Amino acid sequence: MSELSLTIIRVAFLAVLWLFVIAAIGVVRTDLLGSAGMPRRVRGSRQPQPLRQPRPPRPGRGSPRLLVVTAGALKGTSVDLNQQQITLGRANDATLVLHDDYASSRHARIFPQDGQWIVEDLGSTNGTYLDRQKVTRPTPVPVGVPIRIGKTVLELRR
């Protein structure tokens, strides 16, 4: 084997080794879970629509677009609001699963109606509070007013 061909093999091996590393990084990049950054975003919808489909008509300027957790174990988490309801509770099937000892399995839900977002307590043990008021019937939620569930505080943001 001549010196030249050995040198070519040597450099080619290094090139392929690096190609492998780059391919691996490419896999990381396309990995859907891998691309999620902090803070986490939970999809508001249970059935996310493919991105290419036209989105439902966007609500007006003034209406909220995010539900943000401002205190509690999930602090920093936000949920995109679209036209689906959001369920809150400790149950695994809730849109926002609360790891909160004071929350019930199915604690409350937040749903849109006539351009407003309504919070409704689902018979929780410790109650849901809108600002300081206990929620006893479905109540409209203004933007920026805290909703308290146990130690978790959420609010709507534009």
Partner 1 sequence: MSSITARSPAVDPTGPLAPAVRGRRRTELLMLVFALGLVAFAFANVGYSLKGRLPSPMAEYLGVFAGLVLVAHLAVRRFAPFADPLLLPLAALLNGLGVAMTYRLAAQGNLLSVRMSPSATGIQLVYTAVGIGCLVAVLIVIREPRMLQRYTYTLGAIGLALIAVPALLPASISEVPGTGAKVQIRLSSFTVQPEEFAKLALAVSFAGYLVAKRDVLALAGRRVLGIDLPRARDLGPIVAIWVASLLLLVFESDVGTSALFMGLFVAMLYIATSRTSWLLLGFVMFVAGAFAASKAFSHVGERFDIWLHPFAGQNPSHNAYQLVQGLYGMASGGLLGKGLGGGQPYITPLVQSDLVFTAFGEELGLAGLMAILLVYGLIVQRGLRSAMSVKDPFSKLLAGGLSFMLALQVFVIVGGVSRLIPLTGITTPFLSQGGSSLAASWILIALLVRASDTARRPPPRPIQEEGVTQVVTLP
In the bound state with partner 1, the residue whose beta carbon lies nearer, of 10 and 158, is 10
Q: Is 92 in the site for partner 1 (CB under 8 A)?
A: yes
E strand map for 57-137: 66-71, 78-80, 86-89, 96-97, 108-113, 116-121, 128-130, 133-134
- How many C-beta atoms surround the C-beta of residue 35 within 10 A? 9
Binding flag, residue 1, partner 1 (CB under 8 A):
yes
Contact between 7 and partner 1 (CB under 8 A)?
Answer: yes
**Residues in 23-62 at the binding interface with partner 1, rule: CB under 8 A:** 23-25, 27-28, 31-34, 36, 46-48, 50
**Structure-token pair, residue 59:** 């609500």
Q: According to the binding rule CB under 8 A, does residue 83 interact with partner 1?
A: no
Give 12 or 142: the residue with its C-beta nearer to partner 1. 12
